[in-house]
Amino acid sequence: SYILTQSPSVSVAPGKTAGITCGGNNIGTKSVHWYQQKPGQAPLLVVYDDSDRPSGIPERFSGSKSGNSATLTISRVEAGDEADYYCQVWDESSDQVVFGGGTKLTVL
Amino acid sequence: QVQLVQSGAEMKKPGASMKVSCKASGYTFTDYYIHWVRQAPGQGLKWMGWINPKSGGTDYPQRFHGRVTMTRDTSISTAYMELSRLTSDDTAVYFCARGGLRFGELLQFDRWGQGTLVAVSS
């Protein structure tokens, strides 16, 4: 089955830029979506189709892809961005939805 | 506004079944798939499958085959997920989420229910 790999944790100082990566075989051929989940809350879609933002999501959140990795970039990080972030794709070959293991973003 | 409202927390004994509901409002229920995702304590998100509210068609990953059943009642815009033969490993928060379909490709989950905690313990 298809696997998405994320680093367990990322730390960043307020005002700086955080990058959260998601690796997967041939990820370049798939649409990557990113979710933010704060403790006790449901996930929130922050980026879809690699780099599009839903309405209401700040421009500080952006997505990109290169090679076998996708990256969620959060610019000018704020304390309120502290959360778990998950990448997700649909794997056509297995017809399954796959989530990465999640990355905990800590704002120092 | 689009909302998915789930049923309340449950406690179950091992071997029992659970059934969680997800009531949709603010959009045409049959225009989007409903997916189910679960999250064990301290763990990540695991996809459990989808139901097409228009046709009633479903798809489940192999690990849940034979234990999960997804249904819907279009008259009340509500989807249901039933999981049988529960074990302590099924203790988790269960989420429903709305997702689209584009030329056969499953799309992102743009709205989520609030989650339902199901605890399985003897």
Question: Which tokens in the block code for residue A62?
Answer: 């952006």
| Nearest by CB: A45 against B47, B109, B113 | B109
> In the 8-state DSSP scheme, what is residue A95?
T
- What is the C-alpha to C-alpha distance for residues B77 and B57, in angstroms, rounded to an integer? 15
Tokens 């998405």, residue located: A4
Cβ atoms B35, B90 nearer than 8 A: no
A-chain residues within 8 Å CB-CB of B97? 43
What helix, strand, coil percent values describe chain B, rounded to 5? 10, 55, 35
Q: Which two tokens stand for residue B60?
A: 């489940």
Over residues B34-57, the mean pLDDT reads: 97
Of residues B35, B107, B114, nearest to A42 (C-beta): B114
Using one digit for the tens of pLDDT, what is the confidence trace for B38-48? 999 999 999 99
CA atoms of A42 and B113, how far apart (whole Å): 7
- Chain B nearest-CA residue for A104: B44
Mean pLDDT of B32-40: 98
How does DSSP classify residue B114? -
In this complex, is the C-beta atom of B98 within 8 Å of any C-beta atom belonging to chain A?
no
B61 and A100 within 8 Å at the Cβ level: the answer is no
Structure letter (DSSP) for residue B50? E
Beta-carbon contacts of residue B63 (< 8 Å; ≥ 6 apart)? none
What's the pLDDT score for residue A64? Answer: 97
Question: How confident is the model at residue B118, as a pLDDT?
Answer: 98
- Taking CB atoms and an 8 Å limit, are A86 and B44 in contact across chains? yes
**Hey, are the CB atoms on A48 and B114 less than 8 Å from each other?**
no
Quick one: residue A16, left, alpha or beta (phi over 0 = left, psi -120 to 50 = alpha)? beta
pLDDT at residue A87, rounded to an integer: 98
Say whether residue A42 is in contact with chain B using an 8 A CB cutoff. Answer: yes
Is the confidence at residue B65, as pLDDT, over 90? no
Residues in chain B: 122
pLDDT at B115: 98
Q: What pLDDT digit, counting tens, does each position of A62-105 carry?
A: 999 998 999 999 999 999 999 999 999 999 999 999 999 999 99
Q: Cβ B110–A54 below 8 Å, yes or no? A: yes
Residue B103 reports pLDDT greater than 90: no
Banded model confidence at residue A38, pLDDT cuts 50, 70, 90: very high
